[in-house]
Amino acid sequence: MDTLPPLAALRVFDAVARRLSFTAAAGDLGMTQAGVSYQVRLLEERLGGPLFLRKPKGIELTALGARLAQPTHQAFDTLRSAYAPARDAQTLSISTLPTLAGNWLAQRLGRFQIDNPGLAVRLEASEHVVDFAREDVDVAIRMGEGNWPGLTATRLFEVEFTPMLSPALAERFGPLTDPAQMLPVPWVSGPDPSWQMWLAAAGVSAHCTSSPRAALVLNAQLHEARAAMAGEGAALLTPRFFRFELATGALVQPFAVTATNGKAYWLVYPPARRNRPAIRAFRKFILTEAAADA
């Protein structure tokens, strides 16, 4: 006897479980909200228990719903992957952060395309965290701890940062030979707790960091580096992303000591896509590049 519930009901359950909204799922599926509710009710009757708890401000999965949601997501991801071979053979869409895209990945993608001449690569640079189920993106490179539920995450390299500033600003406050000398220097994105981490790693006493200061807050290393090169202040930057600026003298790194916040950059994608030739090729390429750049 076939115990698999109707595919239409499973498709609706997958959409509602991803969005935790009957209205949003109806929009994604091109159905009415009543139609979505009907399919969920059919599935609940088939399973003999509720899949969602209806609450005044929304819905949430029951224990039964939570147990079934992940394998259902993976099954539909596998189906989407299986029915998209033509697209995969032509295009690889990558989403990542602006600084990593502009100052590290973009200069390497040419080599990847030379090795894969039949593959078109589209790079999207944004702080936005993509939803693989709803957006036309194949893989992403994210910063974090590697714990994104439902995604395969492969560690590339650790997040590291150290102060950099313009030669003119370094001369004005220098010669900079002691990390404590960074305290009177204007800081770009000064409220960032990463400054406290770097000062601690450099052996600067915590009591030296208590005085508040006004600062630019730019929220991306790419922008902070531009402000630092313009002499607006010292910025905490990742050395591997700014080797050209350091080599040409646009930026100065006065101290070798770096700090980390415990996070790393990760290549992520849904596990159902792991066998796509384009993703396998890109995973091998990016791991080789990350290792060579250590």
Higher pLDDT, 207 or 79: 79
Q: What pLDDT shows up at residue 56?
A: 82
User: What confidence tens digit (pLDDT) does each residue in 262-280 have?
Assistant: 899 999 998 888 888 889 9
- Mean pLDDT value across residues 235-257: 94
User: Do the strands 120-125 and 91-96 form a parallel or antiparallel pair, or are they unpaired?
Assistant: parallel
- Mean pLDDT value across residues 221-225: 90
Q: What pLDDT shows up at residue 198?
A: 92
- Mean pLDDT value across residues 10-25: 90
> If pLDDT is split at 50, 70 and 90, which confidence band does 282 have?
very high
**Residue 229 pLDDT more than 90?**
yes
Q: What pLDDT shows up at residue 47?
A: 87
Higher pLDDT, 248 or 78: 248
Backbone angles phi, psi at 15, to 5 degrees: -65, -45
Q: What pLDDT shows up at residue 210?
A: 37
The set of residues, in sequence order, having a beta carbon less than 8 Å from that of 61 and lying 6+ positions away, is: 17, 20, 51, 52, 53, 69
User: What confidence tens digit (pLDDT) does each residue in 76-109 have?
Assistant: 888 877 766 555 457 889 999 999 999 999 989 9
What residues does 58 pair with on adjacent strands? 55
Q: What pLDDT shows up at residue 75?
A: 86
Contacts made by residues 44-48, CB under 8 angstroms, sequence distance 24+: 46/5, 46/6, 46/9, 47/5
Say what percent of the chain tops pLDDT 70.
91
The answer to whether the predicted template modeling score (pTM) of the entire model surpasses 0.85 is no
Element holding 143 (H helix, E strand): strand 139-144
Mean pLDDT of all residues belonging to the chain: 86
Q: What pLDDT shows up at residue 211?
A: 40
Helical H segments across 213-265, by residue range: 221-229, 243-248
Cβ proximity of 189 and 224 under 8 Å: yes
> If pLDDT is split at 50, 70 and 90, which confidence band does 213 have?
very low
**Residue 190 pLDDT more than 90?**
no
- Mean pLDDT value across residues 124-144: 88
User: What confidence tens digit (pLDDT) does each residue in 151-180 have?
Assistant: 899 999 999 999 999 999 999 987 999 999
Say what percent of the chain tops pLDDT 90.
41
Higher pLDDT, 261 or 208: 261
